């Protein structure tokens, strides 16, 4: 659902970004209470259905890897949080990454302050796992999406690392993007792993994540 579709049905009293920031947008567009998410991506209102279990288990695998590292080494500095609103105020977008990774000191401060929306400066890495309905929103823009995507947005606000797990059967792989260029809204470097290979997150994380149980989404669904 794009902003054009929403405007055809609703007269919005403010900009989509401002409404999203005030947590009013979902109600104004009558978002169903079925796990659907509403985000502002490239200035558009994007509504996505709740993900399937295979998607969620991949997210859990990543979170578990960070939790295990923390258990093994008390000095491990990284913490994870899921389904966290992220305010990209510089570009007036609002995302809900599948997983956010932040330094434990920043995490502790955010907990004390009971922040509702994270800022890009809080995060070291974001994770997105694609689904059939919205994969083009997570990837570098292409034929299915020519307007800015999350890939551009994360680079524009200088999030250092963007981990994309693409479950598309035509190109099932995990890619770590790094070295964001804020001016162009692009990541300059990347490294990829096919499904089944071990994802090796470099410094500052130093983690290895097996992907033996990761599968592409099923076609025809």
- Is 199 found in the same domain as 176? yes
Tokens encoding 215: 């599968």
How many domains are there within the chain?
2
What is the per-residue pLDDT for 9?
Answer: 46
**Confidence band for 91, pLDDT divided at 50, 70 and 90:** very high
- Is 135 found in the same domain as 68? yes
Is the pLDDT score of 210 beyond 60? yes
- Is 108 found in the same domain as 16? no
Q: Which helix or strand (DSSP H or E) is residue 68 part of?
A: helix 53-72
- Is 36 found in the same domain as 136? no
- Is 104 found in the same domain as 179? yes
- Is 60 found in the same domain as 24? no
| CA distances from residue 107 to 12, 60, 128, 158, 170 in whole angstroms, order as listed | 34, 19, 20, 19, 37
Stated pTM of the model:
0.93
Q: Looking at the domain assignment, is residue 218 inside a domain?
A: no
Q: Looking at the domain assignment, is residue 136 inside a domain?
A: yes
Closest listed residue to residue 66, CA positions, set 209, 182, 186? 209
- Is 63 found in the same domain as 42? no
CA-CA distance, 58 to 192, in Å (whole number)?
16
The CATH number that applies at residue 100 is 3.90.1570.10
- Is 111 found in the same domain as 34? no
Is the pLDDT score of 67 beyond 50? yes
- Is 120 found in the same domain as 20? no
Residue range(s) defining the domain that contains residue 36: 3-47
- Is 191 found in the same domain as 94? yes
């Amino acid at each position: 659902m794009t902003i054009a579709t929403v405007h055809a049905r609703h007269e919005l009293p403010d900009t989509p970004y401002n409404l999203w920031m005030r947590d009013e947008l979902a109600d104004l567009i009558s978002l169903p209470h079925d796990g659907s998410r509403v985000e502002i991506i490239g200035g558009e209102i994007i509504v996505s259905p709740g993900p399937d279990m295979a998607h969620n288990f991949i997210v859990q695998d990543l979170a578990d890897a960070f939790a295990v590292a923390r258990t093994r080494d008390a000095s491990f500095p990284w913490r994870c949080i899921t389904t966290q609103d992220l305010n990209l105020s510089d570009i007036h977008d609002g995302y809900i990454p599948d997983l956010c990774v932040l330094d434990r000191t920043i995490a502790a401060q955010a907990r004390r302050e009971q922040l509702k929306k994270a800022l890009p400066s809080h995060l070291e890495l974001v994770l997105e796992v694609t689904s059939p309905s919205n994969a083009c929103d997570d990837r570098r823009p292409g034929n299915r999406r020519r307007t800015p995507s999350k890939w551009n947005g994360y680079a524009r606000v200088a999030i250092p690392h963007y981990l994309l797990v693409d479950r598309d059967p035509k190109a099932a792989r995990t890619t770590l993007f790094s070295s964001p260029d804020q001016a162009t809204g692009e990541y300059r470097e990347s490294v990829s792993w096919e499904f089944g290979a071990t994802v090796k997150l470099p410094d500052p994380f130093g983690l290895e994540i097996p992907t033996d149980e990761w599968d592409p989404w099923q076609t025809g669904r």
